[in-house]
Amino acid sequence: MLVPAEVWTIAKAEQGSAVLIKPIGSDYAVPIFIGPSEAQAILIGLANRKMPRPLTHDLFLATLKKLDIKITRIEITELKEGTFYGRLILNQGGNDLTMDARPSDCIALAVRTKCSIYIDEGVVDDAGIPISAAKDEAHKQSDIESKISFLQKELDKAIEVENYEEAAALRDRIRELEGKK
């Protein structure tokens, strides 16, 4: 059964970026791993940024508008062998049309149009993670980034005073922490 959901956040993970889809009122979110260009497309939509030239999703929406077609909702419908599946539900002149689409494209379109997002409960059961675990991971990443920032400043100081042994040790520590991001 499909349930209403929302984009909870986009996070960096060991496997790349993940958009977390959270059913409304749930303590679980489903991480869908996406590439950097997909993450950028979703982030641009979430920020409601207008680009000087239309991006692919914006071009698609402009085309739909010219054809008098509206996106009524998106659906994340299943997870098979590690791959998520999605659908766009469109409406033209009172007739619903369904199109298969990658969930990342569906989400990029949904955040631009503010249409409803739905996710199948089975997908949440199979792939959902507790929100608390996602928050812990985000805090861990934030802590690592803070440490790297501090160490980078110390590295700059060590280079400035030509303390190259300390600089090399700081550089190695930064690389170690970057490997954990």
Residue 25 sits in a domain of what CATH number?
3.10.690.10
Do residues 123 and 54 share a domain? yes
Do residues 79 and 33 share a domain? yes
> How many Å apart are CA 145 and CA 133, to the nearest integer?
19
> What does pLDDT average to over the chain?
88
Do residues 40 and 123 share a domain? yes
Residue 4 has pLDDT above 70, yes or no: yes
| DSSP H stretches of helix in 47-130 | 56-66, 103-113, 121-127
Do residues 61 and 25 share a domain? yes
> How many Å apart are CA 55 and CA 147, to the nearest integer?
36
Domain boundary among 111, 127, 143: 127
Domain boundary among 89, 110, 127: 127
Q: For residue 15, give its domain range.
A: 2-127
Give the Å distances, CA to CA, from 40 to 65, 107, 144, 152, 174: 23, 12, 22, 26, 26
> How many Å apart are CA 143 and CA 60, to the nearest integer?
39
What would the pLDDT profile of 114-141 be if each residue is shown by its tens digit? 999 999 999 999 999 998 766 565 555 5
Element (H or E) spanning 156, and its range?
helix 131-160
> What's the confidence (pLDDT) of residue 118?
98
Top mean pLDDT of 32-36, 118-122, 152-156, 174-178 is at: 118-122
> What's the confidence (pLDDT) of residue 143?
63
> What's the confidence (pLDDT) of residue 123?
97
> What's the confidence (pLDDT) of residue 135?
58
Instruction: Compare 7 and 150 and report the one with higher pLDDT.
Output: 7
Partners of 143 in beta bridges = none
Percent over 70 (pLDDT), the chain = 91
Q: Into how many domains does the chain fold?
A: 2
Please list, in sequence order, all residues whose beta carbon lies within 8 angstroms of the beta carbon of residue 68, skipping any fewer than 6 positions away: 92, 93
The structure's pTM equals: 0.73
Instruction: Compare 8 and 152 and report the one with higher pLDDT.
Output: 8
What would the pLDDT profile of 90-103 be if each residue is shown by its tens digit? 999 999 999 999 99
Do residues 56 and 139 share a domain? no
